[in-house]
Structure 1
Amino acid sequence: MIPTITVFEWVPDFARGYVRDMRARWAFEETGQDYAVDVIDFDRVKSPAHRRFQPFGQVPSYRDDAVEIFESGAIALHIARAAPGLLPADPAGQARAEQWVIAALNSVEPYVMQLAVVDIFEADRAWSAERRPKVIEDIRGRLVDLSAALGDKDWLDNSFTVGDLTMVCVLRGLHDSRLLEEFPNLAAYVARGEARPAYARALAAHLADFAAEPVAA
């Protein structure tokens, strides 16, 4: 079977362009691999049938003739290993690319997601406003370190890799906060990622798959 990922049929406007199937789509586009999408709704994503492939009831999950996996980082790495384009040829370069995937997901994204919690998902909670300054402080700390690691390079290593793809996707979650503007090299880094033709194709496909907002019964 052609590699297939699960994607949502609809998400709110604020989430469009940020759902994690974007990471898989972008990886497919960068490596020139064909893929299919299994478009599902919120009921199906939590169903026992879907949880057989994604035990936490999320998207994306991935299936091909040999592999069934979940988690966007694992999926992006699997895609990167299947065809040239996102991993260096040498083992050391591959290891560095993989480390940046893990760094994006473990050392940066949890901080970015805390901002989404206080600003969107739990903005109505009494503690959110009090918590927000500490969330911003923690994100800045991570961005200081990442900015120093990037320096004046175009990419985190010698060329664009799956590590950059994952990191750019994570940092895009800060667009509305304007925090990236405090770090010109990181803002330019994200802009370079978004300017890649493969990213544009992935985003267009991601947006095109959304159905109209469901009508309440």
Structure 2
Amino acid sequence: MTPVITAFDWVPPFAQGQVRDLRVRWALEEAGQAYDVLYLAQGEQKAPPHRGRQPFGQVPTYEEGDLILFESGAIVMHVADRFGGGLLPADPAARARAIEWMFAALNTIEPPLMDHAIATIFERGKPWSAPRLPAVLERIDGRLGELSRRLGERTWLDGDAFTAGDLLMVSVLRIVAGDGLLAAYPNLVAYVARGEGRPAFARALAAQMAGFTGSPPPAILAWLKAQEETT
């Protein structure tokens, strides 16, 4: 049975190429597994029937027969288990380390990077955003420095083999790659470039970008206009 994932049919330009269905698409592409996409217009994610798939009203979700999953990390892990593609090594110790890096990407690295997005995009006009930003940047610098030291001169996090841990870590680091926050860490810049250079990533990104064919709702257009006025 062909898996079905959910994705948005439109997001603002700053979010295109970043929505978390990209991570699932990438995993499926690495595994060579075909999939279908159910596209949602903005607002549909908060209403039935999507709430039945995702209680928090987010994307992506994943359906395969009677199995319905949400959370991109859980879906990537399932795809790696179900379809292979080398994302989870056969060796038990290497597999455990790959899973360790999956958790590190989502639990240790991603939260401060998303704090930056909140302060500079989603809540940019709020009175607390500017005062928070120096502390957010300090936390990000600390985490990126630690990650950079651990990666060192390795090709991937656990050596020469690309795993689901790298897939999620590269996906997370891309959140701030365009903001110059990786520039102080050349090995992380090169690491992200290696991930983006994988053919499976290119196919996943192209598929996500091709899906943005919908129109923004008026409320989103008003929000974008307000953001432009505060720039």
Aligned to 1:67: 67
Residue of structure 2 in register with 1:6 after alignment: 6
Equivalent position of 2:140 in the other structure: 139
> What amino acid is aligned across from residue 135 of structure 2 in structure 1?
K
Residue type at the aligned position of 1:68: I
Q: Secondary structure at the match of 2:124?
A: coil
Task: Tell me what 2:187 maps to.
Answer: 185
SS of 1:48's equivalent?
A: coil
Alignment of 1:117-196 (within 5 A): 117-158=118-159, 159-196=161-198
Residues 182-191 or 171-180, more deviating: 171-180
Q: Please identify runs of 4+ aligned residues in structure 1 that moved more than 3 A.
A: 214-217
- Paired AA for residue 204 in structure 2: A
Q: CA deviation at 1:42?
A: 2.1
Q: Say if 2:19 is the partner of 1:19.
A: yes
**1:6-32 residue CA offsets vs partner (Å, 9 max, x unmatched):** 000100000000000000000000010
Shift of 1:87: 1.2
Which residue does 1:107 correspond to in 2?
A: 108
Letter in 2 for 1:147: S
The one-letter amino acid paired with 1:146 is L
State the distance in 2 between where 1:214 and 1:171 align.
27
Structure 2: distance between partners of 1:196 and 1:72: 19
Partner SS, residue 62 of structure 1: strand
Q: How many residues align?
A: 217
Q: Distance in 2 between matches of 1:117 and 1:198?
A: 29
Question: Residues 179, 49 of structure 1: CA spacing in aligned structure 2 closer, same or farther, 3 A cutoff?
Answer: same
Task: Name the counterpart of 1:87.
Answer: 88
Q: Which amino acid aligns with 1:183?
A: Y
SS in 2 for 1:38: strand
Q: Which runs of 5+ in 1 are unaligned?
A: none
- SS of the residue 1:152 aligns to: coil
Deviates more, 1:79-88 or 1:128-137: 79-88
Q: 1: distance between equivalents of 2:217 and 2:119?
A: 28
**Which piece of structure 1 moves more, 160-169 or 63-72?**
63-72
Aligned-pair identity (%): 55
Distance 1:213 1:41 in 2: 8
| CA drift at 1:212 | 4.1
Q: Which amino acid aligns with 2:31?
A: T
Shift of 1:211: 1.1
Question: Secondary structure at the residue paired with 2:90?
Answer: coil
Q: When the two structures are superposed, what TM-score results if normalisation uses the length of structure 1?
A: 0.97
Structure 2, unaligned stretches of length 5 or more?
220-231
TM-score (structure 2 length as normaliser) = 0.91
Shift of 1:213: 2.6
The whole-number CA distance in structure 2 between the counterparts of 1:215 and 1:51 is 20
Stretch moving more, 42-51 or 53-62: 42-51
Deviations 1:117-161 (A, max 9, x none): 010000001111111111000000001111111110010013100
Q: Which digits, 9 at most, give the CA deviation of each residue in 1:36-83, with x for residues without a partner? A: 100011222101311111000000011101421100000001001112
1:211 alignment partner, one of 210, 213, 216: 213
Q: Which amino acid aligns with 1:213?
A: S
RMSD between superposed Cα atoms in Å: 1.3
